[in-house]
Structure 1
Amino acid sequence: MAIKERKEREKQEMRNLIIESATQLFLKQGYDKTSIRSIADDIEYSPATIYLYFKDKDEIFYVIHENAFDLLDKELRQHDAIADPFERLGALGRTYMQFGIENPDYYDLMFIMRAPMEQIKNEEKWKAGECAFGYLLTTLAECLEQKKIRPADLHVTAIQVWSYVHGLVSLYVRERMCILMQTDEITRQILHSSFDLFLANLKT
């Protein structure tokens, strides 16, 4: 292996180590209580080493966000082949919920944890986030065009759909669904049935 290739690999390995450490510390301690020094201590390097790869803690959080949204988008894109936009909408919602249920730590970082979004604001485009939301917009636009759902403003409807599934997943991830006093399997069935009823109310 050439020296340049080896250095690039080592650089990427260090970035991954920093990201993995930061992810766990964010989840364990929260964003505010996690510092560059605590990340450095965790990986047994100096804070100066981390600054060689990231300008600040917010940039690290942004990269973690991007990685998580990339994973979500790949799951959603599995439904590209579904021709009927209303059926695709249902598949997207169920996949979104499944992603949150199976990846509660990532979901917490993506949508629930309080953390500054300055790095995202500084980017010209939030590619990963816009990609996932854009897919929802495209699908809903097709539903409206084909009169699969009641006439309504596209963006209002998109926020309505997203808010509904986000609410269900958040209640589950934060263990508030225990109020149902049901097994986990039955609780998940209730979540999906609730979403199916929501979809039915959108239909024309």
Structure 2
Amino acid sequence: MGIRERKEREKTERRQAILMAAQRLFNEQGFEKVSMRNIAETIEYSPATIYLYFKNKNELLFALQSQAFGQLARSFESVFAIEHPAKQLEAVGHKYLEFAFQHPELFELMFVMNGPMQAVEARGETTPWASGRAAFERVVQVMQHGIDAGVFTRTDNAETAALMAWSQVHGLATLYLRKRMMIFPEDRRQAIMEEVMALFAQVLQHGL
């Protein structure tokens, strides 16, 4: 390995160390309470070193958000082994809920906090949110498969249907995480969310 390659590897490793320390602190203390200085102190870097990699906290949050969306997108990959489109769609919903419930702090970073999106806007790029789009495209693929197979007969627009599906399962995740599913008995909450996802798949096939 040459000097240049070694330096690039060290730079990548240092950047990842910063992100790992930041994620740990955010999990322990909350996003608002952690500063760039706190992160630097945790890994014994100077604050100036942190700013070589992330110009501000929003940029750091955006990097963590991008990693989280990559993790979510990868979790969707297993559904493509399922043959029937309706079952694929239900599996995507289950994967989404599983991710949200296992990583509520990341879910907040991905969908609630303004900081990462302010970083996106500051970049001013034509297609600024590639990580979010990549996860969404997995759902579009599922919808397009259902349309092409003649299973989802109530729409011919995979993107619109994907956004509808995403919105629905996102709503379920949010209701659960914000304790609004307490309108149902505890032993009913998981089951009713599964019933909702199954009903949505049926609507796409046959209508109400």
What TM-score range do you get, normalising by the shorter chain? 0.7 to 0.9
Give the counterpart letter for 1:85 in structure 2. P
Secondary structure of the structure 2 residue equivalent to 1:52: helix
Q: 1:116: Cα distance to partner?
A: 4.4
**How far apart, in 1, do the equivalents of 2:30 and 2:107 lie?**
16
Q: Using the alignment, how far apart are the partners of 2:57 and 2:16 within structure 1? A: 15
Q: Matched residues in 1 for 2:37 and 2:100: separation?
A: 30
SS in 1 for 2:111: helix
The Cα offsets for residues 129-179 of structure 1, whole Å up to 9 and x where unpaired, read as 222111211221232233312135433322211110001111222233233
Query: Partner of 1:198 in structure 2?
Result: 200
The offset of 1:193, in angstroms, is: 1.9
Give the alignment's TM-score, normalised by structure 2. 0.80
- Which structure 2 residues correspond to residues 143-154 of structure 1 after superposition, within 5 A? 143-149=146-152, 150-151=154-155, 153-154=157-158
What are the Cα deviations for residues 2-26 of structure 1, in whole angstroms up to 9, with x where unaligned?
8777755554443233213333444
Equivalent residue runs for 1:29-48 within 5 Å? 29-31=30-32, 33-48=33-48
Aligned residue for 1:55, secondary structure, equals coil
Are the aligned partners of 1:68 and 1:106 in contact in 2 as well (CA < 8 Å)?
yes
Distance 1:135 1:81 in 2: 13
Conserved? CA contact 1:112–1:170, under 8 Å:
no
Give the AA of the match of 1:119: A
The whole-number CA distance in structure 2 between the counterparts of 1:177 and 1:168 is 8
* 2:180 corresponds to which of 176, 180, 193: 176
Query: Distance in 2 between the 1:114 and 1:26 partners?
Result: 15
Separation in 2, partners of 1:58, 1:180: 37
Three-state SS of the structure 1 residue aligned to 2:81 is: coil
Q: What SS does the aligned partner of 1:117 have?
A: helix
The alignment's C-alpha RMSD in Å is 2.7
Identity of aligned residues (%): 38
2:141 to 138, 142, 154: 138
CA deviation map 1:85-140 (0-9, x unaligned)? 23222221221111212222221211123334143343554332222111211221
Deviating beyond 6 angstroms after TM superposition, the runs of 4 or more aligned structure 1 residues are 1-6
Give the Cα–Cα distance (whole angstroms) in 1 for the partners of residues 103 and 89 of structure 2: 21
Aligned residues: 201
On the 8 A contact 2:85/2:143 being kept in 1, the answer is yes
Determine helix, strand or coil for the equivalent of 1:80.
Answer: helix
State whether residues 62 and 116 of structure 2, in contact with CA within 8 Å, keep that contact through their aligned partners in structure 1. no
Q: Which runs of 5+ in 1 are unaligned?
A: none
Specify the alignment match of 1:65 in structure 2.
Answer: 65
Show the counterpart of 2:52. 52
